[in-house]
Amino acid sequence: MARITLDNLAHSYNPNAASERDYALKELNYEWEDGAAYALLGSSGCGKSTLLNIISGLLMPSQGRILFDGIDVTGAPTAERNIAQVFQFPVVYDTMTVHDNLAFPLRNRGHNETYVAERVQEIARMIGMEDMLRKKARGLGADAKQKISLGRGMVRKDVNALLFDEPLTVIDPHMKWELRTQLKKLHHDFGHTMIYVTHDQTEALTFADKVVVMYDGRVVQIGTPEELFERPAHTFVGYFIGSPGMNVIPAKVEGAKAYINGCEIALGAGYAPMDGKVEIGVRPEFARLSETDGLPVRVRRVEDAGRHKIIRAEFFGQDINIIADEDDPVRADMTRITFDPSRVNVYANDWRVAPESAEAA
Amino acid sequence: MQQKTTNHKAWFLVLPMLVLVAFSAVIPLMTVVNYSVQDTFGNNQFFWAGLEWFEEMLSDERMWNALQRQLMFSGIILAIEIPLGILVALNMPKSGFWSSFCLVVMSLPLLIPWNVVGTIWQIFGRVDIGLLGYTLDALGIHYNYTQDTISAWITIIVMDVWHWTSLVALLAFAGLKSIPDAYYQAARIDQASRWKVFRFIELPKMTGVLMIAILLRFMDSFMIYTEPFVVTGGGPGNATTLLSIDLVKMALGQFDLGPAAAFSLMYFLVILSISWVFYTVMVNLDKKGA
């Protein structure tokens, strides 16, 4: 296990990168704690695979250093880094048995057969494949193959980190849940440092202690699932996490009040004057329909999601979503909307602005 | 249950195809069958001969010798072309300009007509004017494909390798290209040696295309006629008289239609049965792979 430090790391696929726009991964400083489970979350092309490949050594960063436990490994090849990686498509050695697959990394490193057999047994028990060890790998299903890949990673005791590159993409939905649970349990029991790349927020939020949200080559927020939900640092985080995502509405902010088209909204705290594009962000969970209070809104559609209702509405010419409890009434005369003031975040140029004074809401 | 409609007029739609197949395959083949069970003393008069020709051919050393030479030829060229083709494919650039360049250069021999290939090598190997023959002779190496059995064999084998290794290489290259990058990355992480990458990743992923390559090369080399005929004409003596050369000699040279027909039928059955074995093995491998 190791602590992984990213020091001024950046990467561009263009060797003559001039402006920041040429960088697939923009400058980044971060320390991945030893033994924690991280998820790298973002839409396709946001640079998350680039970051993963730099950590695993498949890609040489164009700038900065990467350290494992304080030792610079920037130039070290994959094999020397002692990391394990599970790929999007299950990679197993088809002609070998499950046992030989699991033993492969150990045998290549010249361990003796008694140790190998012992270790393979142990790993097979961990991934629940003890009774399949004699089977050929080629006949197995995608989920079993993915377990073998995972086992091949964990079989080495000195592995620094386990990297996952969207490992559940080709797995059937009902097996996804099981594998995710198993992975979470393995992390809990054995404490490997795990980095999990995905574009699926449910996977990221259920798997990780900390979620790293990436957008356009930049890490926009690193936080616990709760932090990402309550205080998204960037409008993208608000929009990307949550279903539906956060409502972002252009507004004017003065002190502890925000104004939308001249209508006043109370904020949970006071803010210093700010420049540029100012918006407020409210999660649909913290917006409520009302008959009398708040600002005018026009309900367009109500979707019943079973446990709750999603109300799609129009608010000063802009779409807005509200999540209401299954039992909450939605009536034609409910033409106003209120927000929970303490849950309203303020954004300037897409980045969250910290309140100046914590006024009681 | 739905009622099946019966419409006999539909047979007319298959008729053109039946006529075509009849003229291109069935009738010629049946003519051969016809010849193989009859004898003639000229005047277009035929007598029923039963299986006599087959018995005669089976006890004839001439056919067995030709078959032996044929098996040896196919065996040798497979043993050279398959590994060599894989080796070439492994060392080809995977992408970019040089990859396309290699592909084009390699497909050139495949585009040359058989008799031209034969002529090229026939002249190339001549001791008096051929570059290869003259050079070898000047170096003091004994080489003369018109007189020496070993030289003749080496010439037709090298010629076949030159002509057809590209095909194996192209097929193997296609197989290699279809392996996702993740396999190589995983192998690097597992610290697999170059040999193990080949043995456990590349070779298993190439099995399918290699079976096709072996099958194609086997069938083609087993039926080969033009190239060795142009170079050596089956000689010196009968040293390079392969099955098809022998068959043509018998049928058109000596006009022994009966034995030649029996011969071709057995020839056909041998190719058919060996190909069937290959095919069965291939399909079984595929099933296991699923």
pLDDT of residue B174: 92
Flag whether B33 is in a domain: no
The Cα A132–Cα B27 span in angstroms is: 57
- Is ipTM strictly over 0.90? no
**Partner-chain residue, chosen from B189, B196, B288, that has the shortest CB–CB distance to A83:** B189
- Token pair listed for A242: 């949550």
Flag whether B37 is in a domain: no
CA distance B195 to chain A (A): 12
Question: Per residue of chain A (361 residues), what is the pLDDT tens digit?
Answer: 678 888 888 888 887 777 777 788 888 888 888 888 888 888 887 888 888 888 888 888 888 888 888 888 888 888 788 888 888 888 899 888 899 999 998 898 888 888 898 889 888 888 888 888 888 888 888 888 888 988 888 888 888 888 888 888 888 888 888 888 888 888 888 888 888 898 888 888 888 888 999 888 888 888 888 888 888 999 988 888 888 889 888 888 888 888 888 888 888 888 888 888 888 889 988 888 888 878 888 888 888 888 888 889 888 888 888 888 888 888 878 888 888 888 888 898 888 888 876 544 3
Helix (H, G, I), strand (E, B) or coil at A171: coil
B246 has a pLDDT exceeding 80: yes
Flag whether B46 is in a domain: no
Is A290 in the B-facing interface, judged by CB distances under 8 Å? no
Q: At what angle do helices B97-111 and B149-177 cross, to 10 degrees?
A: 140
Using an 8 Å Cβ cutoff, are A63 and A9 in contact?
yes
Residues of A in contact with B290 (CB under 8 A): 139
C-beta atoms of B193 and A108 within 8 A: yes
Domains and CATH numbers, chain A: 4-240 (3.40.50.300), 251-352 (2.40.50.140)
Using an 8 Å Cβ cutoff, are B172 and B106 in contact?
no
The Cα A26–Cα A280 span in angstroms is: 26
CA distance B93 to chain A (A): 19
Average pLDDT, chain B: 87
CA distance A316 to chain B (A): 50
Alpha carbon separation from B281 to B82, B215, B222, B276 (Å, rounded) = 18, 11, 19, 9
Number of domains in chain B: 1
Flag whether B26 is in a domain: no
Flag whether B27 is in a domain: no
C-beta atoms of B189 and A84 within 8 A: yes
Which residues form the domain of B81? 61-289
Here the CATH number for the domain that contains residue B258 is 1.10.3720.10
Confidence of residue B241 (pLDDT cuts 50, 70, 90): confident
Helix (H, G, I), strand (E, B) or coil at A209: coil
The Cα A26–Cα A216 span in angstroms is: 9
Burial class of residue A255, CB neighbours in 10 A (0-12, 13-18, 19+)? middle
